[in-house]
Amino acid sequence: MNKLLYLLIFIAFSVFVSCGTKENKSSNNDVNSTNTTTETQDPKMNKGIGPITSLILDETIDSVMVKKGKDVFDAKCTACHKVDKTYIGPSPKGILERRSPEFVMNMILNPEKMIAENELTKQMVAEFNGAIMANQNLTEEEARAVLEYFRTL
């Protein structure tokens, strides 16, 4: 009688353990597939890493900001970026067709962390033969103006 009881407990325990393992496995898979979607499948969903978590652009372009952004870009970015061609870094022309506004701002304001941790930026570093975007210490307002200028290119 005792033996039968032990056997029943053993069976109940085994079923319990195997169910638990299955559940863990499937929830891990779910997490992985979510990451793939945001990080690689649609690059424009990627907001990057940095101070800007949400930015909705106005439909009309602000020409005062554009002028200021061009001045900042010409002074601090053209050592590595040219508008009309790939240089040490990529051309910013049409950048919002492949990157979110948040991503662009975070890359300008926080390139060190983007290069170390963002999958899309890591791919770019490889593409640009290991050249590293330098932090130009722009204020958030200057970075926003540069982004507005990029919208006109």
* Interacting residue ranges for ligand HEC, rule: CB under 6 A: 73, 76-77, 79-81, 88-90, 95, 99, 104, 107-108, 115, 121, 124-125, 128, 131-134, 136, 138, 146
* Shortest Cβ 130–ligand HEC spacing (Å): 7
Q: Select 18 or 139, whichever has its Cβ closest to ligand HEC.
A: 139
Whole-angstrom Cα distance, residue 125 to residue 116? 10
Q: Would you say 138 and 72 are in contact if contact means Cβ atoms under 8 Å apart?
A: yes
Joined together, the tokens standing for residue 112 give 């060190």
C-beta neighbour count of 81 within 10 angstroms: 18
* Shortest Cβ 133–ligand HEC spacing (Å): 3
Q: Would you say 113 and 50 are in contact if contact means Cβ atoms under 8 Å apart?
A: yes
* Shortest Cβ 41–ligand HEC spacing (Å): 16
